[in-house]
Structure 1
């Protein structure tokens, strides 16, 4: 997946210069952890995959304690996954949900996962989305959202989750999204504790 990047050897160069690009990649361990062939039919299976991604991201020192996955709701087919890649790729926008959205939309060849002819999609994320990711969730086209750890849990770890309010969640629901929060919360929070013990970077604290 490519966009625009100023080459390191060209200080002050225009980001639109020919050949400029940004690569968004998943860590090389993803295929060791993710079973792309099996269906994830229950909410528990979907959330546990998101939490497993967050845990591996911490254990393998490839990013923050956040993981996300996107599924076809009816079939349980896994469409895309994401892990927090802010520090690994030096990009403040690469939260787990944002990475999952980008790969899912690239796979579907559409900017909206609710485009005509597509099945309903569900996002499972190991933590409540931050302000950026909550907005992206609305625009992504997913119709169901499963969240593990809470915003307060992330803030206790000193992450800044931005301006997310009760009215923000109410807005998503008014737009027709089904939201389930605090789901398998204890399992998700265990990853935060692992991150704390390992001295993980609080990159936006």
Structure 2
């Protein structure tokens, strides 16, 4: 299962995005994809990273892993999610059904596609607006720091391909 942490204290947006980035870096160390997230509920947080590779499951995105842990904490007034990369369509559905009212992300879906991820090229902003969903979207937050994760992933990915080729 995901590396999920629950902590209590007051967190700023910057704190939450830094935790999402740190979580993505933890996932990278385990050879997972470079995605992390942090869910904030008042003074409590949940962090998780992508585990698709380790769990051999295409649906173990960071957002899904964190939302799984969120389920026993529903009923909170204000739930926010901070993602290193714009959530995909699957994760947006889970965000909506979980009652999360604010999404803050760093890199866009287009950024993810540009480095080679197989994403559907639709922005969650467009979906939220067209479906009149009650979700605030903040894009490009700490984008440069989040983009560094892609560079780290590309380096690890090249090393892994080289190691596997040498066998």
TM-score, length of structure 2 as denominator length: 0.85
Equivalent of residue 49 in structure 1, options 19, 22, 25 = 19
Unaligned runs of 5+ in 1: 1-24
Residue 37 of structure 1 is matched in structure 2 by 8
Residue 33 of structure 2 is matched in structure 1 by 64
SS at match of 1:147: strand
Whether the 8 Å CA contact 1:57–1:63 is kept in 2: the answer is yes
Bigger-Rg structure (1/2): 1
Unaligned runs of 5+ in 2: 161-167
Q: C-alpha distance in 2, partners of 1:76/1:144?
A: 15
Residue 165 of structure 2 is matched in structure 1 by none
SS at match of 2:8: coil
Q: C-alpha distance in 2, partners of 1:50/1:57?
A: 11
Residue 51 of structure 2 is matched in structure 1 by 85
Aligned residues: 158
Equivalent of residue 170 in structure 1, options 121, 129, 132 = 129
Whether the 8 Å CA contact 1:51–1:126 is kept in 2: the answer is yes
CA-to-partner distance for each residue in 1:105-136, whole Å, 9 max, x for gaps?
1x32xxxx4x4xx2210011110011211222
Q: C-alpha distance in 2, partners of 1:148/1:131?
A: 16
Aligned-pair CA distance for 1:62: 4.2
Say what the alpha-carbon RMSD is for the aligned residues: 2.0
* Higher RCO (CA < 8 A, seq sep 6+): 2
SS at match of 2:7: coil
Residue 186 of structure 1 is matched in structure 2 by 144
Alignment partner of 1:159 is 2:117: yes
Q: C-alpha distance in 2, partners of 1:76/1:180?
A: 20
Aligned-pair CA distance for 1:85: 0.6
**Higher strand content, 1 or 2:** 2
